[in-house]
């Protein structure tokens, strides 16, 4: 059984209500994911499956205590261990819901794996990490580096330029080089500009039921 758009929206709503994530963050990562998927000529059905998987990537954070999740300062080793469990808890939550889409299950579980094997929860490395998770790790990191945070002076285009440099510096260690290259190409051709504009979290978000209506993400900038 696949999770319906309404359920996806409800789960994303819980993350937002608990201050774990914002609707804008979720939408940006969904749209970046769609843009990347278009580069690799995925069919529309697969792109929609990936979109829902991307929207749900941090669903396991629902099960993490707020004292850890929303702690303002750095986490202790024990707290970080608790935080890391959002990957396996999310995977288990989806299984309990009856989700059987491998793309969603894999992305939720493996989006914090690193190319060099130093990620979590399974310490997978290189091509042993499912491709969908290797690509999504790039998207998620880029958004983390470009979204508005109280401590961050740079936002928008300047932050994006530096984030791309950072991703490229992590090629072959933290990130899959092919994924970074594809994402950096998209950025440099201007295909991500309109998505980046969501960085300030003030724009009205579309509806998850209308995902398929977004059609070509890349063509939006033209």
On whether the CB atoms of residues 135 and 175 are closer than 8 A, the answer is no
Rounded to a whole number of angstroms, the minimum distance from the CB of residue 112 to Fe ion is: 6
> Which residue's CB is nearer to Fe ion, number 27 or number 191?
27
* Total binding residues toward Fe ion, as defined by CB under 5 A: 1
Tokens linked to 34? 């769609």
Each residue 81-120 as x (binds Fe ion by CB under 5 A) or -, in order, gives ----------------------------------------
Residue 175: helix, strand or coil by DSSP? Answer: strand
Cα 159 from Cα 150, distance rounded (Å): 14
Among 185, 222, 213, smallest CA distance to 47 is for 213
Q: Given the rule CB under 5 A, which of 32-40, 53-61, 191-199, 209-217 is the region that contacts Fe ion?
A: 53-61
State the greatest distance between any 2 C-alpha atoms of the chain, in Å, as a whole number: 48
Pick 58 or 99: Cβ nearer Fe ion: 58
Nearest to 178 by CA among 107, 126, 141: 126
User: Nearer Cβ to Fe ion, position 136 or 191?
Assistant: 136
CB-wise, 5 or 90, nearer to Fe ion? 90
Which of 38, 58, 143, 176 is close enough to bind Fe ion by CB under 5 A? 58
């Amino acid at each position: 059984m696949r999770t319906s758009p309404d359920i996806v929206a409800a789960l994303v709503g819980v993350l937002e209500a608990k201050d774990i994530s914002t609707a804008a963050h979720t939408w940006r990562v969904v749209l970046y994911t769609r843009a990347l998927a278009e580069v690799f000529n995925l069919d529309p059905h697969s792109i929609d499956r990936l979109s829902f998987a991307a929207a749900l990537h941090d669903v396991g954070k629902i099960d993490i205590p707020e004292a850890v999740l929303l702690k303002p300062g750095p986490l202790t080793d024990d707290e970080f261990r608790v935080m890391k469990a959002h990957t396996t808890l999310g995977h288990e939550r989806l299984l309990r819901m009856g989700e059987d889409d491998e793309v969603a299950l894999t992305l939720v579980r493996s989006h914090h794996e690193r190319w060099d094997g130093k990620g979590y929860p399974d310490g997978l490395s290189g091509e042993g990490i499912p491709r969908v998770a290797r690509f999504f790790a790039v998207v998620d990191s880029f958004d983390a580096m470009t979204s508005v945070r109280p401590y961050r002076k740079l936002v928008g285009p300047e932050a994006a330029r530096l984030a791309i440099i950072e991703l490229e510096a992590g090629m072959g260690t933290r990130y899959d080089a092919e994924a970074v290259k594809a994402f950096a190409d998209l950025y440099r051709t201007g295909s991500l500009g309109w998505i980046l504009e969501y960085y300030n979290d003030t724009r009205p978000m579309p509806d998850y039921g209308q995902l398929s209506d977004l059609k070509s993400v890349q063509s939006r900038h033209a």
